[in-house]
Amino acid sequence: MELRTSQVGQSPAFLDSIELVGRAAALNRPVLVIGARGTGKELVAERLHHLSPRWEAPYVTLNCAALTETLIEAELFGHEAGAFTGATRARAGLFEEADGGTLFLDELATLSAGAQERLLRAIEYGEVTRIGSNRPVRVDVRVVAATNVHLPEMVAAGKFRADLLDRLAFEVITLPPLKAREGDIELLADHFGRRMAAELDWPKWVGFSAVALAAMVAHDWPGNVRELRNLVERAVYRWDPPGTAVGAIQLDPFDSVWRPGTVVAYAPPARTIEAAPGPAPAPAAPITDLRAAISNFEHDMLTQTLIRHRHNQRATAKALNLSYDQLRHALRRHGLISPAMDA
């Protein structure tokens, strides 16, 4: 069975949250999952359902931010024919669809006051009433909700019902950001990289270079695991040649001199007649070791061309009018290629 994203990790912060998920899964109580974007709230909700006694029953999800206030209530609680414009026939809501199972409400904080009141009644009394009907319907649903905001602050500001929060907060699982998961960045990078290499039919998976891994560890990861996955998969599919250590990553995929709103200044060549007089350039230091000077120049030229071509060795070789083997030999001579990449 393939590991899911939420199951890949070894840091104490990650393992503590996963242990709490396993303990809460067995209970028939509501659970709140709190975490920043990309931390895996949806995957934790799935885990709560599949580890619970309800695992064979329906698992139904709703993104509360994706619908208007009227449509959310109709989606959650259903409606009778003619209840509103366009309601040509009766329809069961998600609570009825999830009867016996789990209902996952993502982006909970975006629910309207009316929807919050109806949700509280559904959780408190185990019954829902379709829009346009006076007959309540009994349902047996476990609610798991997720948000990336601090709900007590919304209660204090009058934007979220305190009694609903009290009912939902039987267990609150707060997921750690990726930056706080010591050692998991390297583990996840290898996990996602290995899967992408297999998808691309690479002959083998060597991993990332030490420099690329160091850059990933130093990054802040505002998008957390989702951002890391995108970066790793992007780096692997761009890398050439396949089967060697990936040595180039792009932390910001939008980083470009041509991005909208960027002004690229054009500087025409200065004409001698308009050039302001300035100090004479400092004389170059005398060369006392010709071989060392040539070696330094070659090292700098290789480094600059590699960077200009995003460490694509075939493109670098073409730019320097070298064969691929000649470039690899030069990189080894100057220590610009790691043993893992050379394997």
- Domain architecture of the chain: domains with CATH: 7-176 (3.40.50.300), 181-253+293-342 (1.10.8.60)
The pLDDT of residue 306 is: 83
Q: Is the pLDDT of residue 281 over 90?
A: no
More confident residue, 279 or 249: 249
Backbone angles phi, psi at 136, to 5 degrees: -70, 150
- Of the given ranges (30-34, 89-93, 143-147, 247-251), which has the lowest mean pLDDT? 89-93
Q: Binning pLDDT at 50, 70 and 90, where does residue 262 land?
A: low
Q: Which residues pair with 34 in a beta bridge?
A: 147, 174
Return the H-helix or E-strand segment holding 88.
none
DSSP 63: E
Q: Binning pLDDT at 50, 70 and 90, where does residue 284 land?
A: low
What CA–CA distance (Å, rounded) separates 145 from 19? 18
Q: Mind spelling out the 3-state secondary structure of 235-301?
A: HHHHCCCCCCCECCCCCCCCCCCCCCCCCCCCCCCCCHHHCCCCCCCCCCCCCCCHHHHHHHHHHHH
Q: Who's near 38: CB < 8 A, 6+ residues apart?
A: 178, 221, 223, 224, 225, 226, 227
Q: Is the pLDDT of residue 13 over 60?
A: yes
- Of the given ranges (94-98, 182-186, 230-234, 240-244), which has the lowest mean pLDDT? 240-244
| Helix, strand or coil, per DSSP, at residue 162 | helix
The pLDDT of residue 318 is: 87
Q: Is the pLDDT of residue 341 over 70?
A: no
- Among 144-153, 280-289, 295-304, 309-318, top mean pLDDT goes to 144-153
The pLDDT of residue 288 is: 75
For residues 129 and 84, the answer to whether their CB atoms sit within 8 Å is no
Q: Is the pLDDT of residue 85 over 90?
A: no
The pLDDT of residue 122 is: 95
Return the H-helix or E-strand segment holding 106.
strand 102-106
Q: Binning pLDDT at 50, 70 and 90, where does residue 232 land?
A: very high
The pLDDT of residue 261 is: 76
Token representation of residue 49? 């359902």
Token representation of residue 84? 């509103």
What CA–CA distance (Å, rounded) separates 289 from 268? 37
Q: Binning pLDDT at 50, 70 and 90, where does residue 64 land?
A: very high
Q: Is the pLDDT of residue 279 over 70?
A: no
Average pLDDT over residues 14-37: 96
- Of the given ranges (6-10, 262-266, 271-275), which has the lowest mean pLDDT? 271-275
The pLDDT of residue 265 is: 56
Q: How far, CA to CA in Å, does 310 sit from each of 180, 247, 304, 306, 313?
A: 30, 9, 10, 6, 9
The pLDDT of residue 330 is: 86
Average pLDDT over residues 219-240: 96
* Bond preceding residue 241 cis, omega within 30 of 0: yes
Token representation of residue 264? 């690229």
Q: Who's near 320: CB < 8 A, 6+ residues apart?
A: 301, 302, 305, 327
